[in-house]
Amino acid sequence: MTVRDRLQAGLKEAMKAKAVERLSTLRLINAAIKDRDIAARGEEGTEAMVSDADILGILGRMVKQRQESARAYEEGGRLELAEKELAEVSVIEEFLPRQLTADEVQAAIAVAVAEAGATSIRDMGKVMAVLKARYMGQMDFGAVGPQVKDKLG
* Among 25, 13, 15, 137, CA closest to 91: 25
Q: What is the dihedral of CA 119, 122, 128, 129, to 10 degrees?
A: -100
Fold of 3-93: Hypothetical Protein Yqey; Chain: A; domain1 (1.10.1510)
pLDDT in tens, 2-56: 889 999 999 999 999 999 999 999 999 999 999 998 888 876 555 668 888 888 8
pTM of the model: 0.74
CATH architecture of 102-152: Orthogonal Bundle (1.10)
Sign of CA dihedral 74, 78, 79, 82: negative
Name the residue with higher pLDDT: 74 or 143. Answer: 74
Listed by start position, the domains of the chain span 3-93, 102-152
